[in-house]
Structure 1
Amino acid sequence: MSFAAPAGKRRGLRDWTELIFKDHGFLRVWWHNLHEIAPGMWRSNQPGPGRVLAAAQMGVRTIINLRGPRDDGGWQLEAEACAATGITLLDFTARSRAAPDKAMLHATRELFAEAELPALMHCKSGADRAGLMSALYLLVVEKRPAREAAQQLAWKYGHVRQAKTGLLDAFFEAYFPYEDQGMAFYDWVDNVYDPDEVTRAFQAKGWAVRLTDTILRRE
């Protein structure tokens, strides 16, 4: 399986309008939420064309779009900028308000194997899906302890664990005791992990849901 994105199809001013207003790109002009999580791997929020160029100048070879295949203006501009700078764009669908399913967790290994470093992965705000995948990168590729990896889901990145996005924290916390017993992560995923059980046990706070879904309008 390859996650390589198709070529973009630019639609002129419409793409810029969608990026700046519909996708709230104006909020990301100065706020990039850019962090290096491990040698050669970075995380951020949705980059515009100028930031793709800056990434290329940093030596980035791959950009991983965690928002999945799309055809909106932001994606079109990103695809065009990647093609112009020689960066490979990979599309991968991660979810911010659900316990990760097993197929996605296994696909993550294939994604990281395909991504040529240095690489940058992003979602819309760089908070939740970027946090999930950064934690998985540290856990799966860098072989860091799960408790350390899960720190990629933190308030300093914009992640709110009291909202529905806290299901991502609950996912890692479900693994902690099994890691303490020496069980490998994918053995746990295949033989123990139950996404439905994690979901049933989690309860979001109303104020946090209003913050992320209504005020911040997170994906």
Structure 2
Amino acid sequence: MHRKPRRRAALLFAALGALILAGAFVYWRVHSFNLRDVIPGEVYRVAQPGIDDIERAVTSMGLRSIVNLRGPNMRSAWYRDEVEVSRRLDVELVSLRFETFDWPPRLETLQFVDAIDRVPRPLLIHCHSGLDRSGWAAGVVRLLRGDSVDAARGELSLLEGHFCDRDECALHRFFDLYDEWLARKGRAHSPAAFREWLEGSYYPPPYAAAISSRGAVPVSAIAGTPVSFVVDVTNRSGSGWVATSDKQHGIRLGARILGPFDPAPADPIELFRVPHTPARDLFRDGKSDGVWSAGSSKEIEVGLTAPDTPGLYFIQVDMVDEMVHWFSDLGDAGLILPLRVEPAPAESRIQN
């Protein structure tokens, strides 16, 4: 007579106990050092290590390298500590910036693969909690080793403390894109196939554009005078762009400028890509409303005004997903053009 209520109560307590255990497990994962094997004895994924953690890792496992997925940040104590202890203990430190809720940038992904190939082992890969970015990075390491795509995805599982809607999670979708490419090519996964995809076909959607100049491009201009040139833009992504002249939404062509420089930077694109770049916006295309279908190209005239201060400048022409990204934040560099700005001639004085 009382069995059903008792059974319901037992099930309720069991479910509550499971939730408590799961919560405790996740709390431990988030708030602990969270050291996990990726390749036993060689590669480990961890949460943000402190000075003591790094010192213990050097002593206990012979740690030789660290790959930091949070990016360089000398304003933060955790990064200054990591730099100091790495130098003191002769541990190689590589710092690359990835975001938890965004696509892995193309350039940084290639640099990460280069680091995995190059740095001495054992190595630690870390983000903040060791759950999301570190899980994605561990999946990449497993693909480079020859493990399956499903095994790589497993590094972003609930058991690893990673919670997201996998259809919306860019870190998950990274592996889906690779799987889809394999299916289109009729190929099986291999480390060589993965590298081929990364180097030639990985562009976070929709941030894939080919931009080239059409005809002559000015290499010098008088300060304060108009500068114009024409570019060809091709949508290389697998989907259409919703182009708009709205300054708050949609995708359109833009141009920005950095300088003056003396001497010229070795790689100007790095200065455009840094967070809070000092680049100044100079141009937005306002004539391309509508859907820009995949594979289509357009010819667009870029018009801007040369800066008032003489010197060497660099102009970047790139597509912009307004209020979200310049395409080069995640994909290719766009079009980078040098511009030498000459002083304006002194105003002639009328002789009386």
TM-score, normalised via structure 1 length? 0.69
Could you say which structure has the larger radius of gyration?
2
User: Match of 2:33?
Assistant: 32
User: Match of 1:84?
Assistant: 88
Distance 1:149 1:168, change over 3 A: same
Correspondent of 1:188 among 193, 197, 203? 197
User: Match of 2:249?
Assistant: none
| Partner Cα separation in structure 1 for residue 30 and residue 201 of structure 2 | 43
Report if aligned partners of 1:64, 1:90 keep a CA contact under 8 Å in 2: yes
Matches of residues 1-219 of structure 1 in structure 2 within 5 Å?
31-39=32-40, 40-57=42-59, 58-71=61-74, 72-140=76-144, 142-162=145-165, 166-180=169-183, 181-182=186-187, 184-197=193-206
User: What residue ranges of structure 2 are gaps of 5+ in the alignment?
Assistant: 1-27, 208-237, 240-352
Cα RMSD over matched residues? 2.8
Equivalenced residues, count: 174
- Cα distance, 1:163 vs structure 2: 7.9
- Higher helix proportion, which one? 1
Report if aligned partners of 1:98, 1:165 keep a CA contact under 8 Å in 2: no
- Cα distance, 1:145 vs structure 2: 1.6
- Higher strand proportion, which one? 2
Amino acid at match of 1:106: L
User: What residue ranges of structure 1 are gaps of 5+ in the alignment?
Assistant: 1-26, 202-219
SS of equivalent residue, structure 1 residue 124: coil
TM-score, normalised via structure 2 length? 0.45
| Partner Cα separation in structure 2 for residue 144 and residue 64 of structure 1 | 21
Offset from partner CA, 1:122-176 (integer Å, 9 cap, x none): 0111111111111111112x12122211211122222112289821111211222
Distance 1:174 1:60, change over 3 A: same
| Partner Cα separation in structure 1 for residue 140 and residue 129 of structure 2 | 18
- Structure showing greater relative contact order (alpha-carbon pairs closer than 8 Å, 6 or more residues apart): 1
Amino acid at match of 1:182: R
Offset from partner CA, 1:5-41 (integer Å, 9 cap, x none): xxxxxxxxxxxxxxxxxxxxxx999711110111300
SS of equivalent residue, structure 1 residue 33: coil
Amino acid at match of 1:93: R
SS of equivalent residue, structure 1 residue 195: coil
SS of equivalent residue, structure 1 residue 120: strand
SS of equivalent residue, structure 1 residue 93: coil
Offset from partner CA, 1:65-90 (integer Å, 9 cap, x none): 11111111011112222222222222
| Partner Cα separation in structure 2 for residue 91 and residue 115 of structure 1 | 12
